[in-house]
Chains A and B, each alone.
Chain A
Amino acid sequence: MRYAVGAIAISLVLSGAAASNADEPRRLTIDGHVKRDPVFAKADGSELIFTMLEKPTQLRLMKLNLKTQQVAAVHPEETRSEFEATVSADGRYLAFVQNRGNLSLALVIKDLAENKQADIPPQGGFSGMHCPAIAPDLSRVIYSYPEDGRQHLFECNLRAEQRRRLVDSEGVNNWPHFAADGSRVVFGSSRDDDYEIYVMRPDGTDARRLTHSPGQDIRPKFSPDGKRIAFTSNRDGNYEIYLMQADGSGVQRLTNNPEQDDCACWHPDGRSLIVVSERKGRHDLYQIAVP
């Protein structure tokens, strides 16, 4: 077991760290509520969907119009918690996790064009799916699900059928994300110890480790051109956004915030990221330029 960067070394690391390469971030929300998982809902980059802790008992899916900066609930009448949303590349399908009872979570796949919905209900007892990702060719949804003391990656089709285990390894496998051409899936896994970033083929084969750092490397996202990966890491003692090439080389720290930066999401133009940034104890969405 390797040890992460010691907490007492944090201040030294930060003071000696290279300055951020990013331009001044643009603040997109101002309410300060806890937020997670931003994802673009439209290919033109005009609308985001994200999760917000609207009140202590409800996580709600929200949409943000980037032109007007208006924020509204995706499902205004919904009283159950919904989170970890993802949208298909064509904007037709919305998948997310939905609370169905006490510690019971379903995976919901909505066909927004047909106004139809499919789901994988909780499996009985305490259970729940995590972090769906929709293949660009709409052939499948990959999601994370715990079984047998480990957390695997599964797949199903867009009708929530033909469920199949894709990745079976030690530890927790989570945060799958497709490259835009559908040829690879990047994800996080603790199979080798703490969380690292891995890449595999969409059928679950040829998994390769991309990061080798103490602490967590999590929530990877392919850039729209598939050449780079943005991810969150606390390798320098605090959660920041990092970039690397798709083969794991050229790791570069993008943010430098004494509080947490997390949940990076690429703008469709590939020139900026949307991140959840904690500043003065408030959590908001910021847009940061990518060098």
Chain B
Amino acid sequence: MIDVGSFRAQSCRGLSRRSFLRLGAAVPAALGATGLLAPQQTALANAKARAKSTILVWLWGAPSHVDTLDPKPDALAQYRGPFAPIATKTPGVFYSELLPKLAQRSDRYTLVRSNVSTMPGHPDAGTLGLTGFPEKPEPVQPNFGSIIAKHRGHHGSLPPFVMVGTGIPRDVVRKVDGYGGGTLGKLWDPFPVSCSDTGQVSIPALQLLDGLNPNRIADRKSLLGQVDAAERQLKQAGFEDWNRQYQQAYGLLTNAQARAAFDLTQELEGTRDEYGQTTFGQSCLMARRLVEARVPYVQVNWSEYVESITPNCDFGWDTHIYNFEMLQDTHCPIFDRAFSALLDDLERRGLLDTTLVVAMGEFGRTPRINSRAARDHWPQCYFSIWAGAGLPRGRVIGQSDKYGENPVTDPITPLMVGTTMCELAGLDTQARAELNVLNGGRVIHELMS
């Protein structure tokens, strides 16, 4: 028996009760060897892709670049902050003392210090950061993950674009419009999952199967009846994309390999320890499992995981107050441990050369300390981390000015980020043109050579 998860429907009318599915042999048997689904369109992974899989660690809320990976120890006191720089394995490169593990691993990835955005607010900048384009004018462009998912197509029972996190990132105003398929359609939206610090997995799509507890399913006929009932409920609830989610959920139910990809209990305890017994740590471990299962694109959201001074808001790294305390006490230690473990684990398993791992937020934070002794939004300059996929290692690309306010080298835009990610995933200029995505984007050549 595999504990797949605990699910609580939150928004679908008539589907609000709690269920807990313990999946065993009964379910595949009841559904039949071929399952209930219509065959999915399947495409082979692009053989030219340097990145068979891509992991985007999305540091929602926007981490302070000057307190983490682009410290300015010689800046004036009103800019500098209280953290000391530490040496890294890259000669002459220093990080904040809050990230010692990443400093020890600087020879395994490339750091970009010249990312720029043009949007000062979270949802707008989130869309820009995830799609390469602003929300306006409409239509909203697709998430980089949706582009790669469509290029690769559905492969087996696992969705091609999985988003690990507690739903779509949002702040108090609204969610990020660019979270999903955009112009490519909802079929290429991410498949959301999340897991707790104890490794318990939640798959919201399986809310649709609420009531299909194997203990209540005697045979295939009974199951089909319940599916029909659930479908009627979904239609009444106005659930737009029930069909896709239904298919994906059933794919998980009927395929043991697919279910196993989400089962963190199959990991050695020592491996789970390495990532840290935090929600974000276990989410990064989930990403590695999904890469092993050949999911083309995984987006790990840092959202509700640790930003607990403001319940019910996905502020993430949005440290308008308590910047220094939160970075020191929670965010940096958790990120430092989990992201380092992810790199170690992928390397150890021989997956890093075929997996692109990128970590970034939607912008940076004000180099000048604000009136509340913290930092506000700063789209003019921030960082991104690039590892794997055969990219050169141990380098820093781009440079910011003496306060970290602006790049003094060529700026790296979100469109360039997305174009590079897609290029590494096998979408060359022609493929992007055929999908009519990332128009005008260029690859970050400095990163590739």
What is the interface of chain A, defined by CB distance below 8 A to chain B? 1-10, 32-34, 36, 53, 55-59, 79-81, 83, 99, 101-103, 105, 126-128, 130, 146-151, 170-172, 174, 190, 193-195, 214-216, 218, 234, 237-238, 260, 278, 280-283
Contact = CB atoms under 8 A, between A and B. Distances in A.
B363 interface: no
A260 B308 contact: no
Interface string B311-350: 1110100101110110011100100010000000000000
Nearest to B72: A1
Given A170-B77, A281-B281, A146 B374 contact: yes
Contact of A8 (B104, B274, B308, B310): B104
A252 to B, nearest CB: 22
B82 A190 contact: yes
Contacts, number: 165
Contact of B311 (A2, A79, A150): A79
B97 A234 contact: yes
Given A80-B311, A128-B321, A6 B86 contact: yes
Interface stretch (B214-222, B364-372, B385-393): B364-372
Interface stretch (B87-95, B115-123, B400-408, B431-439): B87-95
A126 B311 contact: no
14 contacts: A1-B80, A8-B103, A8-B104, A33-B277, A53-B308, A56-B306, A56-B308, A59-B309, A81-B309, A99-B311, A126-B320, A216-B82, A216-B97, A281-B275
Given A214-B84, A216-B97, A7 B103 contact: yes
Contacts of B354: none
A128 B101 CA distance: 30
A99 B313 CA distance: 12
A7 B87 contact: yes
B152 to A, nearest CB: 31
B210 interface: no
Interface residues of B, number: 63
Contacts of B109: none
Given A4-B86, A8-B104, A127 B312 contact: no
Contacts of B373: 146-147, 149-151, 172
B312 A57 contact: yes
B286 to A, nearest CB: 15
Nearest to A214: B84
A171 B85 CA distance: 16
A129 to B, nearest CB: 10
A5 B86 contact: yes
B279 interface: yes
B272 interface: yes
Contacts of B279: 56
B86 A130 contact: no
B195 to A, nearest CB: 11
B100 interface: yes
B396 to A, nearest CB: 16
A282 to B, nearest CB: 5
Contacts of A53: 306, 308, 330
- Residue among A33, A58, A151 with the highest chain B CB neighbour number at 10 A: A151
B276 interface: yes
B378 interface: no
A77 to B, nearest CB: 14
Contacts of A4: 84-86, 97
A260 B81 CA distance: 22
Contacts of B310: 81, 99, 101-103
A170 B82 CA distance: 10
A172 to B, nearest CB: 5
B239 interface: no
Interface of B: 73-74, 77-78, 80-89, 94-95, 97, 100-101, 103-104, 166, 172, 196-197, 270, 272-279, 281, 304-313, 315, 318, 320-322, 324-325, 328-330, 333, 337, 369-374
Contacts of A7: 86-89, 95, 100-101, 103-104
B77 A3 contact: no
A5 B196 CA distance: 34
B63 to A, nearest CB: 16
Contacts of A126: 320-321, 372, 374
Contact of B104 (A3, A10, A174, A194): A10
A8 B88 contact: yes
Contacts of A80: 311
Contacts of A151: 373
B333 to A, nearest CB: 7
A260 B77 CA distance: 28
Which 6 residue pairs across A and B have the least CB separation, nearest first? Answer: A6-B87, A190-B82, A146-B373, A7-B103, A4-B84, A280-B273
A99 B326 CA distance: 14
A15 B307 CA distance: 36
A172 B324 CA distance: 9
A216 B371 contact: no
Nearest to A59: B308
B366 to A, nearest CB: 11
Given A81-B310, A103-B320, A214-B84, 19 more contacts: A1-B74, A1-B80, A3-B85, A3-B94, A4-B85, A34-B306, A53-B306, A57-B312, A103-B321, A126-B320, A130-B325, A147-B372, A150-B373, A172-B82, A174-B325, A234-B100, A238-B100, A281-B274, A282-B273
A127 B372 contact: yes
Given A7-B86, A10-B100, A194-B82, A58 B371 contact: no
A9 B89 CA distance: 10
A32 B277 contact: yes
